[in-house]
Amino acid sequence: MIGSMTAPMAPSVSLAEAAALTGKSVSTIRRKKDELIALGAIVSDKGWQIPIPALVQMNLLDRVSAPDFDTPSDADSLLEPPMTPGGTTAEVTELKLRLAEAERRAAAAEAQAEERLGHIDDLRQSLRMLESGHPTTPNSPEQVPVTRGVARQEPKRRWWQRN
């Protein structure tokens, strides 16, 4: 029937998603199959559909619990911050002090980073100058040609060629 009104369906997750969400293994969730089906889970050829409230009811979601309100005014109290005399002002003052300290430390770190960048640039320039091979005085030892690698040796004899 097209116009039928049904209750809105609770959000559901697959077996793998339920395992990842709860931090349990897939086999642990599978072992609770009968309990989950009793709480509205659907197991078919296409996979599992586990309602999230079922996971909450079975205490598989440690981080989530359903709120228990006796009256609607209890729910409204969650929306308003608690009004303690001077409590919010003291918190704001503390947060402002923390922010000022964090900004001071950030400025000091930025100044130190700038100083280090200047030092790195100086070292790069020195290295380029060393690598460029500026001419030196004719009698200095640096003028002696340096052969790179190992000095030429006679080839090693193989074990059967030894005397």
**pLDDT digits 0-9 by tens, 60-103:** 876 555 555 555 555 555 555 555 555 688 888 889 999 999 99
29 in Cβ contact with 47 (< 8 Å)? no
Tracing tokens 């409204």 back to the chain, one arrives at: 76
Instruction: Convert the pLDDT of each residue in 106-157 to its tens digit.
Output: 999 999 999 999 999 999 998 888 887 655 555 555 555 555 555 566 666 6
Which distant-in-sequence residues (6+ apart) come within 8 Å of 28 by Cβ? 19
Quick check: helix, strand or coil at residue 133? coil
